[in-house]
Chain A
């Protein structure tokens, strides 16, 4: 009873306030201010946890240094003892145990089937990826007598800390928790102030928007290109979600006795250079490939949209500066740009690849969004909004962004296709994510093992076809959406 009465008075109060000039929007803002504060606080705590967890792991102990060798008449090389190191750890190759007079030291280091030569007694190195390496020390004295010694270096993955293991869980948990907390706070505040949790206007608006989206979905499904795209993507989307759970074999487990097997009943598409079932890899690769494509396309689109909206809306010299920078980024050869970004990112894992593709792919979107903003900016409703005193941010949020969003969305879908292709190309050219299986890495290993020449066509054809079909799905859907959402093309 009490609450009901309270609600009643509140409504009356709001009516009077409305009459005296304070708008409902303003009151809504005032009410939700504490909610925003709480949300910001939660996000700050979450971000600081994230930062702490990303801090580097403590160093390992000093590597082992040389032992003594017997003195003979010629020079005797001593490369020290075999090393076991961690990825990225700096270690020292020390040839000081070698005996002889006036020696020249040459280290040749074999790593990932490539040999590099270093001169000097002591060499300091580190390796970016796990695996094995061989270091050959050749010593030559002044009478050009030589001797050599070899050590093996085993490069291990760093032990996973608790945070490494559960980082993704914490991340997603944090984001979901933050959103849930925000919703909870808003609901509680509204209930306490006696408002409806969802106002009638808002409900109506949501329903209208929903109906509009339903119409778009119907149009997409009625368009033959869109229908094919949706079907293909549904299939591969399900594969991406469930694929890794239905693989017949573990894709991370190597069977070095069963490498390069031909297709059989046991292994449907044979096994690869590490003895891993290719069919399992194909199923597993659906998730990683689509993940790389989608996430990097989203990163690129968000960056591009922000740059485009800013540059188009602000105009003037700031726009000029941003667009010239954009031109520069757009002009630089794509692959070289990625390599340079990769050199900054350092060791490449799946996240690294996603960042590289995402951070280099935004300039085209930016240019397109800017063009659209320029045309939307001049429309009458924007002028009207400005005339009634809307703030810049609210004009962008309520008028400009909603009118560019369809374009951005259709473009994102097309960018996903390009990103998947980029990933496979990067992998093929040797920049593959370490310890992950994507369709791109499969192709790259297959071509390194010259699968075609040895009669293992399916090793190359299967992942390639998967890429083609997925890219086709995204392209078709993108075109269909473009046709439906882009008013200029609508009339055909």
Chain B
């Protein structure tokens, strides 16, 4: 019985994912479609001498003369077949190529900062919940809250300045590269898998990933703390203590597993948001990822790029939430049964 309902539940979730992705695409189509202006004007040169017949032909080619449902059909077909059109501003490069190139860098940045945050955040949160009200708890919580309330771009700017010059005349102060993704001046603009380039990439990652990680760390550790405190007051923890388990055993075996579910949801949501939205960090550090591209595209009103960034970001959130649901079912069997 349980198995059957479990299957039905997964099927329902999958249908939800598909519906949501479909909804994102339709909303995206509507938003772009109802933008003011004739899209064909972005492709053809703006002179009055341009042949109207050619313009008509181009419109036919892009299905702009078709009816609205037909256009929607073409849009969905092209999206699914990864034919995402060409950029207006970047000498007509295919949008798919541009987004995939940028996505690599964003994934690298987000991946590193996320791994760091999850490990650090959970450790800090667990320890401050474990020694609640202690010196560590108070310091960690107030520091976290301070970083939590900070505009990310502001913090990024401060870090950028702090690590480009020796602070207060301290010579040993480290200086870190604060712009770009690796040293293109010295090592050439062609990205090769050689030792100096890898090293340079790693160095350029430090500041942006630190900025992202610290902003996100606060959220994770606060959540971990409150979720653990919640479970620590439950009766079975008291039982475990009464059985004579050590504090560490209680924390590791009883409190942590039950404090995890809210964490999984939070982390999934944050990863998804960061994936579509490391805008501020990438913008300040000139890091050529999706976020940087988004802001550049907004400036140039490059709609082909913008609309697929919307799709990519939306799909990332949906999939992350789906995976979080699956993980939650795995670690909390109660969800499976109900």
Binding site for B on A (CB under 8 A): 104-105, 114, 118-122, 324-325, 327-337, 339-340, 343, 417, 421, 424-425, 428-430, 443, 447, 452-453, 460-461, 464, 467-469, 471-472, 475-476, 488-489, 491-492
Contact in complex: A119, B46 (CB < 8 Å): yes
Interface string of B192-235 (1 = CB under 8 A from A): 00000000000000000000000000000000001001100100
Docked complex Cα distance between A425 and B281 (Å) = 11
Interface string of B274-290 (1 = CB under 8 A from A): 00110110010000000
Contact in complex: B146, A472 (CB < 8 Å): yes
Contact in complex: B23, A464 (CB < 8 Å): no
Contact in complex: A489, B230 (CB < 8 Å): yes
Q: Is B148 an interface residue (CB 8 A)?
A: yes
Q: Which residues of B contact A468 (CB under 8 A)?
A: 146, 149-151, 154
Q: A428-B280, A475-B148 are in contact. Are A324 and B20 (CB under 8 A)?
A: yes
Contact in complex: B151, A467 (CB < 8 Å): yes
Docked complex Cα distance between A488 and B279 (Å) = 36
Contact in complex: A467, B317 (CB < 8 Å): no
Residue of chain A at shortest CB distance from B314: A331
Residue of chain B at shortest CB distance from A457: B161
| Partner of A328 from B20, B47, B151, B277 at Cβ < 8 Å | B20
Contact in complex: B46, A118 (CB < 8 Å): yes
Docked complex Cα distance between A488 and B309 (Å) = 39
Q: A330-B317, A468-B149 are in contact. Are A492 and B19 (CB under 8 A)?
A: no
Docked complex Cα distance between A491 and B230 (Å) = 9
User: Can you give 22 A-B contacts (C-beta < 8 A)?
Assistant: A104-B47, A119-B45, A120-B47, A327-B16, A328-B20, A331-B24, A331-B315, A333-B309, A333-B310, A333-B314, A335-B277, A336-B294, A336-B313, A424-B151, A425-B280, A429-B298, A447-B153, A447-B157, A452-B160, A453-B161, A475-B145, A489-B226
Docked complex Cα distance between A424 and B154 (Å) = 10
Contact in complex: B314, A328 (CB < 8 Å): yes
Docked complex Cα distance between A416 and B47 (Å) = 49
Contact in complex: B149, A331 (CB < 8 Å): no
Contact in complex: A336, B148 (CB < 8 Å): no
Closest 5 CB pairs of A and B: A471-B149, A333-B313, A328-B23, A331-B317, A333-B276
Contact in complex: A443, B151 (CB < 8 Å): yes
Contact in complex: A336, B310 (CB < 8 Å): yes
Q: A331-B313, A452-B161 are in contact. Are A121 and B151 (CB under 8 A)?
A: no
Q: Which residues of B contact A329 (CB under 8 A)?
A: 27
Contact in complex: A343, B276 (CB < 8 Å): no
Contact in complex: B46, A120 (CB < 8 Å): yes
Contact in complex: B20, A327 (CB < 8 Å): yes
Known: A327-B23, A333-B314. 7 other contacts (CB 8 A): A324-B23, A329-B27, A332-B27, A333-B276, A334-B273, A460-B157, A464-B158
Chain B: interface size category: 35 or more
| Partner of B24 from A332, A424, A430, A471 at Cβ < 8 Å | A332
Tell me what chain B mostly uses at the interface: helix, strand, loop, or mixed: helix
Q: Is B91 an interface residue (CB 8 A)?
A: no
| Partner of B310 from A114, A121, A332, A475 at Cβ < 8 Å | A332
- Least Cβ distance of A490 to chain B in Å? 10
Q: Which residues of B contact A475 (CB under 8 A)?
A: 145, 148-149
- Least Cβ distance of B23 to chain A in Å? 4
Contact in complex: A327, B318 (CB < 8 Å): yes
- Least Cβ distance of B324 to chain A in Å? 13
Q: Which residues of A contact B28 (CB under 8 A)?
A: 332
Q: Is B48 an interface residue (CB 8 A)?
A: yes
Q: Is B69 an interface residue (CB 8 A)?
A: no
- Least Cβ distance of B247 to chain A in Å? 18
Q: Which residues of A contact B27 (CB under 8 A)?
A: 328-329, 332
Docked complex Cα distance between A336 and B317 (Å) = 14
| Partner of B23 from A118, A325, A337, A452 at Cβ < 8 Å | A325
Docked complex Cα distance between A340 and B157 (Å) = 27
Residue of chain A at shortest CB distance from B36: A343
Residue of A331, A337, A417, A469 with highest tally of chain B CB at under 10 A:
A331
Contact in complex: A343, B35 (CB < 8 Å): yes
Contact in complex: A119, B47 (CB < 8 Å): yes
Contact in complex: A332, B314 (CB < 8 Å): yes
Contact in complex: B298, A339 (CB < 8 Å): yes
Docked complex Cα distance between A343 and B299 (Å) = 12
Docked complex Cα distance between A476 and B145 (Å) = 8
Q: A327-B20, A472-B145, A472-B149 are in contact. Are A335 and B154 (CB under 8 A)?
A: no
Docked complex Cα distance between A467 and B154 (Å) = 10
| Partner of B16 from A324, A417, A461 at Cβ < 8 Å | A324
- Least Cβ distance of B299 to chain A in Å? 7
Residue of chain B at shortest CB distance from A123: B46
Docked complex Cα distance between A467 and B148 (Å) = 12
- Least Cβ distance of B178 to chain A in Å? 11
Q: Which residues of A contact B310 (CB under 8 A)?
A: 332-333, 336-337
Q: Which residues of B contact A114 (CB under 8 A)?
A: 299
Chain B residues 137 to 162 lying within 8 A of chain A, measured CB to CB, are 145-146, 148-154, 157-158, 160-161
- Least Cβ distance of B72 to chain A in Å? 16
Q: Which residues of B contact A464 (CB under 8 A)?
A: 150-151, 154, 158
- Least Cβ distance of B93 to chain A in Å? 20
